[in-house]
Amino acid sequence: MNRLEDMDTFEQKRAQAKSQPYKSIFDGQENCRWSHWKHFPADKMLIHVRDVVFPFIKNIHDGEKTLFAQHMKDAVFLIPKPSLLQEAVTILDELKISAQNRDTQGDIYEYLLSQLSTSGKNGQFRTPRHIIRMMVELVDPDINDRICDPACGTAGFLVNSYEYILKRYTSKDKIEIDPEGGYHNLLGDKITVPKHWDKLWKDTFYGYDFDNTMIRISLMNMVLHGIKAPQVALQDTLSKGFTQNDRYTIVLANPPFKGSIDKSDINDALTIQTTKTELLFVERMVHLLQIGGKCGVIVPDGVLFGSSNAHKKLRQILLEQCQLEGIVSMPSGVFKPYAGVSTAVLIFTKGGSTDKVWFYDMDADGYSLDDKRTFIDGKGDIPDIIQHYHNRKKENPADRKGKCFFVPISEIKENGYDLSISRYKEIEYEEVHYEKPEVIIEKIEKLENEIQKSLTDLKLLLK
């Protein structure tokens, strides 16, 4: 409710910048604006928000029969006490969210997820925004793409793809950047054809999840970021009931790592004989893509070197039915405090076969790698990864002692399709010269004598 008015004001400014007419979402219902009712007395506020504003929220864009309206039908306003609502409104108002100029929604989601005792029964946890931004930059979506996340959670990949596209079509002098690398004031003023906006809002971003709460969160997240009719559906993309194939030009995802699915419910199109969701989801992404479509996906390291037939078959699919463009090996602390597992980002294009694979060994992501994840510079190796990835064909790095290098497919096949960077990276050891044992012993004896003398002197002082 707080953000809706901010977003409406932002959209109005965007329309003015392009000299286009704008119809407010509050048109005819000005009493639903936060600024209208935030100073109501507590009792009156509760009645107004529960009976007027909340139904309005639930039915945004209902005239277009959107998925948002469908999934919000059963949502219930649960704040029971007038004083509690008034206190919440006062706190939110004092936070001045819009003035902070950052994605506060993401911070709220991250905080709420951090309060859960587990990351989720199927291994779900929120992907850090700077990692999402890195992956979006590597995949490089554009306004004509159709983008899908088959395990969308809070829709972080879809929202960031939308912002990335807007950034591309916003005049540079209008863009603002926060200390963590987030972009703001993305007006998209260079998008001048109405049908392009229509496609961007209605036929670009598609998400699926089997958790209804996540669907509601992702729909609200996308609407609040300006995507008027997000296409997010309640569906398990690994199950028999999911039938989409060859439909998307880009897939971006961080699928559940530890999940498992009932063998009898696995979609018949999936050929890998396993119930491990981290393997099945990657094959699902290959099926979702059109020929020439590109995917960016986070996988646990075990996917890269696992010795089971299922692991090897997936790697064969990536190398022989796709062009595996790059692998970014990330340190184990990236997903703390939710999980300490080591992960990697795979970037691949559907169709053809792989000639050579580009590897990058990420040491730092701009935050401490412990449970606290303290801000350092918010970037780490990420700018270097993006730069070298996009220049990889020109640079053609071969030195395996460096951060990035190419490995030919022939060598990967010789190693049983192993894609772990440790298999190929050369570690340069520095030669350390130690003193002779007799010199070390002499120093130890001298130190012992000094300690004994100090103890003797101390005893004399105590007497």
Instruction: Identify the band that residue 8 occupies on the pLDDT scale cut at 50, 70 and 90.
Output: confident
**The most confident of 102-106, 162-166, 184-188, 228-232, by mean pLDDT:** 162-166
Using the predicted structure, report yes or no on whether residue 249 has a pLDDT greater than 70. Answer: yes
pLDDT of residue 102: 46
The larger pLDDT score, comparing residue 60 to residue 331, is at 331
pLDDT of residue 118: 41
Using the predicted structure, report yes or no on whether residue 105 has a pLDDT greater than 60. Answer: no
- Greatest C-alpha distance within the chain: 95
Q: Which residues on neighbouring strands pair with residue 148, listed in sequence order?
A: 206, 251
Helices of type H across 96-149: 97-100, 104-114, 129-139
- Domain borders along the chain are 2-100, 104-423
pLDDT of residue 261: 80
Architecture in CATH of 104-423 = 3-Layer(aba) Sandwich (3.40)
Query: What pTM was computed for the model?
Result: 0.80
Averaged confidence pLDDT in the chain:
86
- Alpha carbon of residue 84 to chain centroid: 33
pLDDT of residue 122: 44
Lowest mean pLDDT segment, chosen from 229-238, 271-280, 330-339, 393-402: 330-339
- Tokens 């609040």, residue? 224
Using the predicted structure, report yes or no on whether residue 153 has a pLDDT greater than 90. Answer: no
Instruction: Identify the band that residue 100 occupies on the pLDDT scale cut at 50, 70 and 90.
Output: low
Query: Mean per-residue pLDDT for 338-346?
Result: 86
Q: Provide the b/e sequence for 59-88 (b: ≥16 CB within 10 Å).
A: ebbeeeebbbbebbeeeeeeeeebeebbee
Backbone dihedral region of 65: left (phi > 0), alpha (psi from -120 to 50 degrees) or beta? left
Q: What is 181-246 written as a DSSP string?
A: S-EE----TT---HHHHHHHHHSSEEEEES-HHHHHHHHHHHHHTT-SS-EEEE--TTBTT----S
Instruction: Identify the band that residue 226 occupies on the pLDDT scale cut at 50, 70 and 90.
Output: confident
Look up residue 163 and give its amino acid: E
pLDDT in tens, 178-196: 776 677 778 888 988 888 9
pLDDT of residue 180: 66
Separation CA 325–CA 320 (nearest Å): 12
Nearest to 67 by CA among 194, 222, 197: 222
Q: Which residues on neighbouring strands pair with residue 207, listed in sequence order?
A: 149, 232
Q: What percent of the chain has pLDDT over 90?
A: 50
Using the predicted structure, report yes or no on whether residue 290 has a pLDDT greater than 70. Answer: yes
pLDDT in tens, 426-460: 887 667 777 888 888 888 888 898 888 888 888 88
Query: Mean per-residue pLDDT for 78-106?
Result: 77
Token pair recorded at residue 317: 């699919």
Lowest mean pLDDT segment, chosen from 108-112, 218-222, 422-426: 108-112
Give, rounded to a whole angstrom, the gap between the first and last alpha carbons of the chain. 77
Phi, psi of 325 (to 5 degrees): -75, -45
- Alpha carbon of residue 278 to chain centroid: 16
